[in-house]
């Protein structure tokens, strides 16, 4: 909106505060959804066990970090291995290692399990699966869950089990035949045991049926801590081995990466670098974008009607009235013989002297009147028409004569190009006011 000198125009453009007030609901809704998502994620993470079960660095209830830290405090060097090759390397570097092994996902094959049995003099296997039992201890089977054990004591000659005294009931067990040579500790009365010792030619194998005995959650129950420390702390070096997907043998046809020649990847990287360098070079060469006036011709009547519809849709009565007033003031300045650069006060005084009207009345029509309703807007536009008609009648000059009699506002410029959009048109009749 064009502001005339000496006027107090009411701003109708939406302010930042108004825009923020309109979008407050969506902002609050987005923040609320984000908080709910964060809370759900935290609750889900707190409710889940998290991490790898029986991992030496897992502090969750299913982990075994407490046991690993106690072993380190007692002088045992605990080293983790994620592949069979790492476990083999660590075992070869130690003079008398103990191997802790658990494979709940069954990553190792028969051959790998056979190799595992020859890595260390002592091997402790927790929660063995069917394949491991068939490979290393065929006479040992699954004994189910033990509700209770046969009295106190381990009832075997395994030193770690004897020091533990007992284990908590409710865990898994392993079964042995009546004539088996393996040692069973903590019998449940049905031919099943919580711990089974198997003497192999290459290692002293100890099978612990229930993985809860070593977990952070149950390590302090009954004699679990004494049993775990006795089995894993028998030597100064402990290899904590839990297989990963890296131990799974690769089967099937070769992948696309294996079939791709070695020169393809460097060529792609070189092409990417060249493309980025060319993009930066051309972007700096062309420079920033420049705004350009498009060669479009817009009729004044179309511009007037379009702006009028926008004003009507937004109830911008004062803005629409100000557009009419600006055009009227410019024409009145020409008709009373003033320049278009004349001040509003000079125009008001000249129109008042020519028509004999009160200057306050003229100023009210040209500036001060504020329409509150559509009816007021129509009334104000009628007053503008009456005032302009009165000036035409009082001057006694036709429109062309008044325009030629007015002094120029500035030195004549070159004629405007036809490609420039026109927003203001000169009326052909006194009663018509264009924007």
Q: Answer positive or negative: Cα dihedral of 92, 94, 97, 102.
A: negative
CA distance 207 to 196: 5
Nearest alpha carbon to residue 125 among 91, 102, 158: 102
Separation of alpha carbons 98 and 100, rounded Å: 7
Total structural domains in the chain?
2
Is a pLDDT exceeding 50 seen at residue 426?
A: no
**What confidence score (pLDDT) does residue 92 get?**
93
Classified as helix, coil or strand, 247 is helix
Quickly list DSSP for 172-204: EEEE--TT--SEEEEE-SSSEEEEEEEE-SS-E
Q: pLDDT tens digit string along 315-366?
A: 888 888 888 889 899 998 888 888 878 888 999 999 999 988 999 999 998 9
Contact 332, 346 (CB under 8 A): no
48: left (phi over 0), alpha (psi -120 to 50) or beta: beta
Q: Concatenated DSSP letters for 274-295? A: HHHHHHHHHHHHH-S-------
Structural domain contains residue 289: no
d(CA 314, CA 323): 15
Neighbouring-strand partners of residue 174:
142, 193
Residue 41 within a domain: no
% the chain with pLDDT above 90: 35
Residue 304 and residue 211 share a domain: no
What average pLDDT does range 44-49 have in this prediction?
Answer: 56
Largest Cα–Cα separation, the chain = 136
Name the least confident of 116-125, 259-268, 275-284, 404-413. Answer: 404-413
**Per-residue DSSP letter, 361:** H
At 13 the pLDDT is 52
Contact (CB, 8 A) for 182 and 140: yes
The answer to whether residue 271 is domain-embedded is no
Q: What pLDDT, on the 0 to 100 scale, is given for residue 309?
A: 84
pLDDT average, residue stretch 209-232: 91
Is 40 inside a domain boundary? no
Domain match, 83 and 153 both? yes
Q: Are residues 192 and 315 in the same domain?
A: no
**Is 75 within the bounds of a domain?**
yes
Task: Give the tokens for residue 131.
Answer: 């394949």
Domain check: are 237 and 131 in the same one? yes
| Nearest to 388, CA basis, from 333, 346, 343, 349 | 333
Last residue of a domain, one of 246, 279, 314: 246
CA torsion angle for 408, 413, 417, 420 (degrees, to 10)?
-60
Cβ–Cβ contacts within 10 Å for residue 435, how many? 19
Do 131 and 237 lie in a common domain?
Answer: yes
- Each residue's pLDDT tens digit, 357-411: 999 999 998 988 888 888 988 998 899 999 999 999 888 765 544 444 444 443 3
Calculate mean pLDDT across residues 202-223: 91
Quick one: 98 and 215 in the same domain? yes
Question: What mean pLDDT comes out for the span 91-112?
Answer: 92
Question: In the prediction, which pLDDT does 11 show?
Answer: 45
Residue, of 130 and 279, whose pLDDT is higher: 130
Q: Could you report how far apart the first and last alpha carbons of the chain are, in Å? A: 12
Q: For residue 314, what pLDDT is reported?
A: 83
How big is the CA angle at 116 (ends 111 and 120), to the nearest 5 degrees? Answer: 155
Q: What is the 3-state secondary structure (H, E, C) of 308-344?
A: HHHHHHCCCHHHHHHHHHHHHHHHHHHHCCCCCCCCH
Residue 3's pLDDT band (cuts 50, 70, 90)? very low
Closest C-alpha to 402, from 352, 327, 337, 351: 337
> 3-state DSSP call for residue 92?
helix
Give the C-alpha separation, 13 to 313, whole Å.
Answer: 14
User: Looking at the structure, do residues 329 and 186 belong to the same domain, yes or no?
Assistant: no
DSSP, res 80: E
User: Do the domain assignments include residue 164?
Assistant: yes
Domain boundary among 225, 246, 267: 246
Residues 121 and 183 reside in one and the same domain: yes
Task: Please check the confidence at residue 35 and state whether its pLDDT lies above 60.
Answer: yes
Angle, CA 247 vertex, CA 241 and CA 251 arms, to 5°: 165
State whether 235 and 341 are in the same domain. no
End residue of a domain, out of 203, 229, 246: 246
| Residue 368 placed within a domain | yes
d(CA 265, CA 242): 34
Q: How far is CA 96 from CA 79, 237, 286, in A?
A: 14, 7, 72
| Domain annotation covers residue 429 | no
Same domain, 318 and 229: no
Q: Looking at residue 97, what is its pLDDT?
A: 94
Of 352 and 42, which is predicted with more confidence?
352
Residue 332 sits in which domain range? 300-405
Separation in Å, CA 280 to CA 273, 275, 286, 333? 11, 9, 10, 56
The pLDDT of 211-222, averaged and rounded, is 90
pLDDT value at 134 more than 90: yes
Most confident of 187-191, 299-303, 390-394, 404-408: 390-394
**The pLDDT value given to residue 80:** 94
Does the structure show a pLDDT above 90 at 239?
yes
Q: Which residue has the higher pLDDT, 431 or 116?
A: 116
Are 238 and 351 within one domain?
A: no
């Amino acid at each position: 909106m064009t502001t005339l000198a000496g006027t107090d125009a009411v701003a109708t453009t939406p302010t930042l505060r108004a825009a923020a007030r309109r979008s407050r609901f969506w902002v609050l809704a987005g923040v609320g959804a984000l908080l709910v998502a964060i809370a759900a994620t935290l609750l889900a993470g707190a409710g889940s066990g998290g991490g790898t079960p029986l991992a030496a660095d897992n502090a969750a209830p299913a982990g075994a970090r407490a046991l690993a830290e106690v072993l380190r405090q007692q002088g045992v060097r605990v080293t983790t291995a994620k592949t069979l090759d790492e476990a083999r390397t660590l075992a070869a570097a130690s003079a008398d290692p103990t191997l802790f092994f658990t494979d709940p996902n069954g990553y190792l094959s028969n051959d790998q399990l056979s190799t595992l049995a020859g890595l260390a003099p002592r091997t402790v296997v927790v929660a063995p699966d069917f394949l491991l039992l068939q490979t290393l201890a065929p006479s040992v089977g699954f004994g189910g869950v033990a509700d209770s054990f046969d009295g106190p004591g381990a009832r075997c000659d395994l030193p770690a089990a004897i020091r533990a005294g007992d284990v908590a009931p409710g865990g898994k067990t392993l079964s042995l035949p009546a004539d088996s040579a393996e040692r069973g500790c903590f019998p449940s009365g049905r031919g099943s045991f919580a711990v089974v010792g198997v003497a192999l030619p290459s290692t002293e194998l100890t099978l612990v049926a229930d993985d809860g005995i070593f977990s952070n959650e149950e390590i302090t129950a009954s004699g679990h801590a004494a049993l775990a420390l006795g089995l894993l702390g028998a030597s100064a070096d402990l290899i904590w081995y839990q297989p990963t997907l890296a131990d799974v043998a690769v089967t099937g046809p070769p992948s696309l990466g294996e079939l791709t020649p070695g020169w393809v990847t460097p060529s792609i990287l070189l092409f990417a670098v060249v493309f980025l360098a060319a993009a930066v070079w051309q972007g700096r060469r062309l420079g920033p974008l420049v705004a350009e006036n498009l060669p479009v011709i817009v009729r004044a009547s179309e511009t007037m009607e379009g702006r009028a519809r926008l004003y009507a849709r937004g109830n911008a009565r004062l803005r629409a009235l100000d557009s009419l007033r600006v055009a009227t003031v410019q024409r009145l300045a020409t008709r009373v013989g003033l320049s278009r650069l004349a001040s509003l006060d000079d125009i008001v005084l000249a129109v008042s002297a020519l028509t004999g009207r009160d200057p306050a009345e003229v100023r009210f029509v040209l500036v001060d009147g504020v329409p509150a309703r559509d009816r007021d807007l129509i009334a104000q536009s009628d007053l503008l028409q009456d005032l302009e008609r009165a000036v035409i009648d009082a001057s006694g000059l036709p429109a062309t004569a008044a325009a030629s009699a007015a002094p120029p506002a500035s030195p004549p410029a070159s004629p405007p190009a036809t490609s420039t959009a026109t927003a203001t048109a000169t009326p052909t009749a006194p009663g018509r006011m264009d924007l």
